[in-house]
Amino acid sequence: MPHTLLVISGPRAIVLFATLLVLATAAAFGLSRLYATPRTLDLTPPAEYVAAPVPVTADLPAATPVSGQLVDQDWLERTARRTGIPQPALRAYADAQISRVGGCDLGWTTLAGIGWVESHHGTIDGRTLTVDGRSEPPIIGVALDGVGPVAAIRSTPESAQWHGDPVWEHAVGPMQFLRSSWEPWAADGDGDGVMDPHDLDDAAATAARYLCASGHDLDSGSTWASAIHSYNHAQEYVDAVHAAATAYAQRAAR
């Protein structure tokens, strides 16, 4: 039996095509909303804020802390196991909080979130973090040459001494500081008389000073997000630090 071909032309064809197009678009949008991965944009500081305690007595625990350490050693060992943060890194973050070197209310979990996103606490690409908070080998960031997602920033003779590139700038160390952002806020976190961006104790203390530069405590969503955004001007970065900081707070509280 021969098939009959229905031919629609003129204005009716245009109306029919437009109707089908609207229906197809609506269906596709509905499916995308149904199966899309939800994205949380709440940037309030972690509710499970966990303060790093100071020793309750002058007696040293069995595992002797490093020279100048402020945080309690038992807490340090216990929290390092729970969070997976290397002890030298966790010590740097907690001491920066306890010392209030930044001059504002800043939790160790925020510094830990930044440390994870920037360099996996100094262990990125298989590096080892030594007991004194140094990555082996040292961390030199990518050239900021304007290629891809990075900005184009020319190095200076002073910054080239850090990374060896006479043309383009590089961030250095476990907290990834540029020399221009390091020098105004540099701090000696471990009291050894040297301010070194490759020393995580110094880098965490400097990061605390940088984040507290506004003079406001980072105890609300807006001030916290603004401070993290000043460290790296990308919303994705703020989200990543928030996620890591929240995860560390939850693990520490278990």
Mean pLDDT of the chain: 81
Distance between CA atoms of residues 98 and 1, nearest Å: 88
The SS3 assignment for 136 reads strand
Looking at residue 63, its pLDDT comes to 52
Q: Closest Cα partner for 121 from 84, 158, 79?
A: 84
What is the per-residue pLDDT across 138-183, written as a single tens digit (0 to 9) for each?
A: 999 999 999 998 899 999 999 999 999 999 999 999 999 999 999 9
Q: Closest Cα partner for 111 from 65, 162, 56, 46?
A: 46
Q: Write out the E strands in the chain.
A: 128-129, 135-136
3-state helix, strand, coil in the chain (%, to 5): 45, 5, 50
CA distances 8 to 22, 98, 198, Å, are: 19, 78, 73
Which range has the worst mean pLDDT, 20-34, 64-78, 155-169, 204-218? 20-34
Would you kindly state where each structural domain of the chain is located, as residue ranges? 73-133+175-252, 139-172
The residues near 157 (Cβ < 8 Å, ≥ 6 apart) are 166
Q: Give the global pTM.
A: 0.77
Amino acid sitting at position 55: P
Distance between CA atoms of residues 26 and 43, nearest Å: 31
